[in-house]
Chain A
Amino acid sequence: MSLKIGIVGCGKIADGHVEEIQKVPELARVVGVCDREPIMAEQIAMRYGLDYHTNDVERLLAERKPDVLHITTPPGSHLPLAKLAIDAGCHVYVEKPMTLSLADTKELVAHAEKAKKKLTIGYTYLFDPPALEMRDLIAGGALGDIVHVESFYGYNLSGAYGSAILGDPSHWVLQLPGQLLHNNIDHLLNKTLEFLEDDEPRITAHGFVRRTQRFGDARDAMLDELRLLIHDRSGSGPTVYGTFSSHIRPAAHFARVYGSKNTAHVDYIARTVTLESSGSLPSAIGRLVPAFEMAAKFAKAGARNVGKFARSDFHFFSGLSYLIRAYYRSILDDSPPPISHRDIIRASAMLDSIFSQLKDAQSKAGGSR
Chain B
Amino acid sequence: MKILVTGCSGFLGVPTVERLLAHGERDLRCFLRPGSKRDRLEAVLRRYPDAKVERFVGSLGSPQSAAEAVEGCDVVYHLAAALSGAPADMFLNTVVTTRHLLDAVRAQKKPPKIVHCSSFGVYGVAQLPRGAMVDESTPFEPHPERRDPYSQAKLRQEALVWEYARQYAIPTVVLRPGVIYGPGGGAFSTRVGLNLFGLFLHLGGKNLLPITYVDNCAEAIAVAGRSPAAEGQAFNVVDDDLVTASRWLELYRKRVKRIPTVRIPYAGLTVMSELVARYHKYSKGQLPAVFTRYKSATTWGGNRFDNTKLKSLGWRPIVSTEDGLSRAFEDLKARTALAS
Show the binding face of A for B, using Cβ within 8 Å.
10-12, 14-15, 19, 23, 37, 39-40, 42-44, 46-47, 49, 160, 163-164, 166-170, 214-215, 309, 312, 314-315
Flag the segment in B42-50, B82-90, B192-200 that touches A.
Answer: B82-90
- Given A37-B96, A40-B91, A167-B59: A315 and B285 within 8 A (CB)? yes
Question: Could you list 20 further interchain pairs (A-B, Cβ under 8 angstroms) beyond the known A15-B87, A47-B152?
Answer: A11-B88, A11-B89, A15-B86, A15-B88, A23-B285, A37-B92, A39-B99, A39-B160, A40-B92, A43-B87, A43-B91, A47-B145, A160-B84, A160-B86, A160-B89, A166-B35, A170-B62, A214-B35, A312-B284, A315-B286
B309 close to chain A: CB less than 8 A: no
Q: Are the CB atoms of B88 and A215 closer together than 8 Å?
A: no
User: Measured between C-beta atoms, what is the minimum distance from A45 to chain B in Å?
Assistant: 10
User: Measured between C-beta atoms, what is the minimum distance from B97 to chain A in Å?
Assistant: 10
User: Measured between C-beta atoms, what is the minimum distance from B151 to chain A in Å?
Assistant: 12
User: Measured between C-beta atoms, what is the minimum distance from B67 to chain A in Å?
Assistant: 14
Show the binding face of B for A, using Cβ within 8 Å.
33-35, 59, 61-62, 84-89, 91-92, 95-96, 99, 144-145, 152-153, 156, 160, 282-286
User: Measured between C-beta atoms, what is the minimum distance from B85 to chain A in Å?
Assistant: 5
- Given A15-B87, A43-B156: A309 and B285 within 8 A (CB)? no
Measured in the bound complex, the distance between the Cα atoms of B145 and A40 in whole Å is 14
- Given A11-B92, A15-B86, A43-B152: A168 and B284 within 8 A (CB)? no
Please give, as numbers and ranges, the residues of chain B lying within 8 Å of A168 by CB-CB distance: 34, 59, 61-62
Measured in the bound complex, the distance between the Cα atoms of B281 and A312 in whole Å is 10
Please give, as numbers and ranges, the residues of chain A lying within 8 Å of B160 by CB-CB distance: 39
Q: Are the CB atoms of A10 and B34 closer together than 8 Å?
A: no
Closest to B279 in A: A312
Please give, as numbers and ranges, the residues of chain A lying within 8 Å of B33 by CB-CB distance: 167
User: Which residue of A10, A12, A42, A44 has the most chain B CB atoms within 10 A of its CB atom?
Assistant: A12
* Sample (6) of A-B pairs whose CB atoms are under 8 Å apart: A15-B88, A39-B91, A43-B91, A43-B156, A214-B35, A312-B284
Closest to B285 in A: A19
Measured in the bound complex, the distance between the Cα atoms of B283 and A170 in whole Å is 41
- Given A167-B33, A167-B34, A169-B34: A44 and B286 within 8 A (CB)? no
